[in-house]
Amino acid sequence: MTNLTDINVPGPTTIPLTEPFWDAAAEGRFILQLCGGCQQHVFYPREICPHCWSGDLHWVPASGQGTLKSFTIVHRPGHPGWMAVTPYTVGLVALAEGPTMLSHILGDAPQVGQAVGFAPTNIGGRVLPCFRIITSQTTPKGDLA
Amino acid sequence: MSLARSKAAIVGVGELAPIRRTVGESTLGMLARCAALALTDSGLEKAEIDGLLVGPQVGETPQHVPATMAEYLGLMPTMSNVVDLGGASGLGMIWRAAAAIEAGMCEAVLCVIGNHRNSDAPRSPNRNPIREFDVPFGASGANVAYALLKQAHMAQYGSTDADFALIAHWARANAQLTPEAIFYGQPASVDEILASPMIAAPLHKFEIVMPVAGAEAVIVTSAKRAKDRGMTAVHLLGAGEKITHRAVSQAPDLTSGPLKPSMARAFAQSGTRVQDMSLLSLYDCYTVMVATTLEDSGICPPGGFGAFMRDHDFGPAGRYPMNSNGGQLGFGQPDLAGGMVHVVDAVHQLRGTATGRQIQGAELALVTGNGATMSEAVALVLGADV
């Protein structure tokens, strides 16, 4: 069985504005932009706050906690590089800070409403901010193999 | 009633029958053939076309699309633009054409959209947030987004796979009345739909449109000109549009979409209710899109689409004929022209020329278009010339 580390898939197309988010994830930290104008968290990173249009956005540590709003188990991926690790799970994570983020979901038997936690994971040679389903037996941790 | 409320008249339609693959075609060439069909159908002269609305043409013509299309057609329009609303683009063209005519910018607008499916079709070279923040996690393409929407509906309302499969079943059933449909000769039972391969759970293959090559064209002019010239007209009575997001992660709601306010505006403008419609021509890229649209239209309560589907006949003789040519799930999805497929079928029904599938006494149609991840919505209410 192919490991996520070994697949050849497209990585993030970063720009200087977004690099801190990906760099932090690669170091095992989860950060979000916070708006100084309206005190709301923002995801994905932007030049101005989508809520109040303030340009006063700064990076802050985030909890890495969230709940699964929805998920799909992908059998026929849109990009052929993902075929080797099918079926795999993609989900919408409602972050504790407010915004929703799409991510790769680790762990078995996902259910809508379940708690998930930040799990930095090596996908195709890059450590990305994935999330893992939290059960009573497990604490979230990444797969940095 | 129709004439008094008419914002503009659709006086010509053209359609290239869907096909699975093309060889050596250009999108420009296909759109030109389709435009000529619509012009012939309208009875207008080419020189009378002074407005042009076209869809995006990824890869072939990334910029200067209206000028490229106008030059190819030998037109010199006084109003022209690209309408880029995904599957809602065709519907977005119709009300923009009406608005441009009302503003005095032009008098007869060609709205044309479609694409080839040669083997060398380019992939979109995106460098935007959905490329940066969705694709790296394994979420390329629309299937993942609509699977997430279907899962959310099932979790919120307890809707079942069989409920969703009924939508695809009716699409296939109506496609049997449409010889041009890609699934003509291939009906599908609920069990067959549920037995089709799982693509992105909970989405099965037969709940997803078949991508095809094709093109659709519509000519819009003023209701006055249509009347003065004695043209066969179908009237635009109301329209609504709303854009809420691009990526599914940014959707404000997963079980109700921007078609809800769009349909409400179209009904208000036309003085109609969903229950008045002779035809529901609902954008059906995936089964879940129809489910959500039915609920957002008010024809059934939120979470109630399954019972509504079980309780009604959606063929041309039923109480609520829906997607009478099979919709995109039965007819095929010619890429961004998917929404215009619904417009052209509605025009045939309201003219009384839907041979083999005619709804008796059809007077009003609701047509919906949807783009991206339940993000871009246009709703139209069309009326017969009565």
Chain A environment of B132 (Cβ under 8 Å): 12-15, 18, 44
Gap from A11 CA to chain B (nearest CA, Å):
5
A126 at interface of B, judged by CB pairs closer than 8 A: yes
Residue pair B341/B331 in contact by the 8 Å Cβ criterion = yes
Q: Residue A116 has which token pair? A: 């998930």
Chain B environment of A121 (Cβ under 8 Å): none
Q: Cα separation of B344 and B226, whole Å? A: 18
| Chain B residues with at least one Cβ partner in A under 8 Å | 126-127, 129, 131-141, 143-144, 147-149, 151-152, 155-156, 197-203, 247-250, 254
A127 at interface of B, judged by CB pairs closer than 8 A: no
pLDDT at position B3 is 62
Residue B202: cis peptide before it, omega within 30 degrees of 0: yes
pLDDT at position B119 is 87
pLDDT band at A145 (very low <50, low <70, confident <90, very high): very low
pLDDT at position A1 is 63
Chain A environment of B141 (Cβ under 8 Å): 77-79
pLDDT band at A143 (very low <50, low <70, confident <90, very high): low
pLDDT tens per residue, range B38-60: 999 999 999 999 999 999 988 88
pLDDT tens per residue, range B130-155: 999 999 999 989 999 999 999 999 99
A101 at interface of B, judged by CB pairs closer than 8 A: yes
Mean pLDDT of all residues in B196-218: 97
pLDDT band at B315 (very low <50, low <70, confident <90, very high): very high
Is B377 part of a structural domain of the chain? Answer: yes
Are B136 and A128 a contacting pair at CB < 8 A? yes
pLDDT at position A12 is 96
Mean residue pLDDT across chain B: 96
Are A70 and B136 a contacting pair at CB < 8 A? no
A74 at interface of B, judged by CB pairs closer than 8 A: yes
Is B52 part of a structural domain of the chain? Answer: yes
Are B254 and A70 a contacting pair at CB < 8 A? yes
Judge whether residue A140 has pLDDT over 70.
Answer: no
Sign of dihedral through CA atoms B291, B294, B297, B300? Answer: negative
Enter the pTM of the model: 0.96
Are A75 and B198 a contacting pair at CB < 8 A? yes
Are A77 and B132 a contacting pair at CB < 8 A? no
Going by C-alpha positions, the residue among B329, B318, B319, B289 that lies closest to residue B305 is B289
Are B201 and A75 a contacting pair at CB < 8 A? yes
Is B91 part of a structural domain of the chain? Answer: yes
pLDDT tens per residue, range A78-132: 999 999 999 999 999 999 999 999 999 999 999 999 999 999 999 999 999 999 9
Residue of A nearest to B125 (CA): A13
Task: Give how many domains chain B has, as a whole number.
Answer: 1
Residue of A nearest to B145 (CA): A72
Residue of B nearest to A14 (CA): B132
Q: Cα separation of B145 and B140, whole Å? A: 9
Residues 77-96 of A with CB under 8 A from B: 77-79, 82, 85, 87-88, 90-92
Residue of B nearest to A46 (CA): B129
CATH number of the domain at B378, please: 3.40.47.10
pLDDT band at B1 (very low <50, low <70, confident <90, very high): very low
Residue pair B383/B270 in contact by the 8 Å Cβ criterion = yes
Higher pLDDT, B158 or A137: B158
Going by C-alpha positions, the residue among A143, A4, A145, A10 that lies closest to residue A84 is A4
Question: What's the domain range around B228?
Answer: 2-121+209-384
**E strand residue ranges, chain B:** 8-19, 51-54, 79-82, 108-115, 198-201, 203-204, 213-221, 234-243, 279-281, 364-371, 376-384
Rg of chain B over all Cα atoms, to the nearest angstrom: 19
Q: Where are the domains of chain A?
A: 4-133
Q: Residue A110 has which token pair? A: 């996902």
pLDDT band at A139 (very low <50, low <70, confident <90, very high): low
- Mutate one of B126, B159, B249 to test the A interface: name it (highest A CB count within 10 A): B249
Cβ-defined contacts of A57-61 (< 8 Å, 24+): A57/A33, A58/A33, A58/A34, A59/A20, A59/A21, A59/A24, A59/A31, A59/A32, A59/A33, A59/A34, A60/A31, A60/A32, A60/A33, A60/A34, A61/A29, A61/A30, A61/A31
φ, ψ for residue A7, nearest 5 deg: -80, 155
Share of chain B above pLDDT 90, in %: 95
Q: Residue A137: CB partners within 8 Å, gap ≥ 6?
A: none
Chain B environment of A90 (Cβ under 8 Å): 137-139, 144, 148
Q: Cα separation of B239 and B265, whole Å? A: 6
Q: Cα separation of B8 and B95, whole Å? A: 8
pLDDT tens per residue, range B231-289: 999 999 999 999 999 999 999 999 999 999 999 999 999 999 999 999 999 999 999 99
Is B198 part of a structural domain of the chain? Answer: no
A114 at interface of B, judged by CB pairs closer than 8 A: no
Measured at the alpha carbon of residue B172, what is the angle toward residues B166 and B175, in degrees to the nearest 5?
145
Q: Cα separation of B321 and B357, whole Å? A: 10
pLDDT tens per residue, range A42-64: 999 999 999 999 999 999 999 99
Mean pLDDT of all residues in A2-19: 95
Are B133 and A14 a contacting pair at CB < 8 A? no
Q: ipTM, 2 decimals?
A: 0.93
Gap from B149 CA to chain A (nearest CA, Å):
7
Query: Residue A104: which of B137, B149, B197 has the nearest Cβ?
Result: B137
Is B164 part of a structural domain of the chain? Answer: no
pLDDT at position A138 is 56
